Amino acid sequence: MKSEVKLLGAWPSPFVMRVRIALNMKSVEYEFLEERLESKSQLLLQSNPIYKKIPVLIHKDKPLSESLIILQYVDDVWSSHSSILPSDPYDRAIARFWAAYIDEKWYPTMRSIRGAEGIEEKKRLIEEVKEGLALLEDVFKNSSKGKAFYGGDQLGLLDIALGGFLGWLRVTEVANGVKLLDQGNTPELVKWAQRFCAHDAVKHVMPQTEKLIEFAKTLKR
């Protein structure tokens, strides 16, 4: 039987993992179509002709791209399950703000560490990543309201947005001999990360750190 939900992606991608977590949360059955990063499929090029990037969600033959947009679509379409976005309009806007911060500022800084020129530049970037995590620690305290996740009792938009990068955060730690998430700087996020990775919607799609490290060796700076 032809699946009405398909996901074009690749296992190492944190953006693809976001969508897989959301679909798992909503108990949506889907067909995962693994893309070769060095040779994009015709289906991907047809489905996302503007950016030509993964992830792409295809629902009833209609394609949708950009992970944060897909998360909100999944939340709207399969609304009978746990909500990804907060119900309160202000809380929803705040979640979107910090999700954009993660994608537009925090993650690009962490990604830049790998190609940093010189020790001082690398140190500066590492400190910026730590400062960003300290900010996100404060956001967690405010958003979680004393509960397990940014979304409260269940995973929410910020859990998925930040949690998708945990595998690559660990790779960055190992590659540079540093701790970005640590008890001294971000004790609440350390505990949150453990809960996130153990969640049923996450644990089967979170790549092993060792596997990501091997994959990272194949990437160009």
pLDDT class for 1, splitting at 50, 70, 90?
very low
In angstroms, the CA 28 to CA 125 distance is 38
pLDDT class for 22, splitting at 50, 70, 90?
very high
Give mean pLDDT, residues 91-97.
97
Contacting residues for 64 by C-beta, under 8 A, at least 6 apart: 56, 57, 58, 70, 73
Domains of the chain, earliest start first: 5-77 (3.40.30.10), 89-216 (1.20.1050.10)
Backbone torsion region of residue 61, taken as left when φ is above 0, otherwise alpha when ψ lies between -120 and 50, otherwise beta: left
pLDDT at 221 (0 to 100): 54
In angstroms, the CA 171 to CA 52 distance is 26
* Average pLDDT of every residue of the chain: 96
pLDDT at 174 (0 to 100): 96
pLDDT digits (tens, 9 = 90+) for 98-116: 999 999 999 999 999 999 9
User: What percentage of the chain carries pLDDT values higher than 90?
Assistant: 92
Give mean pLDDT, residues 117-121.
93
Q: Is residue 62 helix, strand or coil?
A: strand
pLDDT class for 68, splitting at 50, 70, 90?
very high
Q: How much is the pTM?
A: 0.96
In angstroms, the CA 86 to CA 156 distance is 7
pLDDT digits (tens, 9 = 90+) for 128-171: 999 999 999 999 999 999 999 999 999 999 999 999 999 999 99
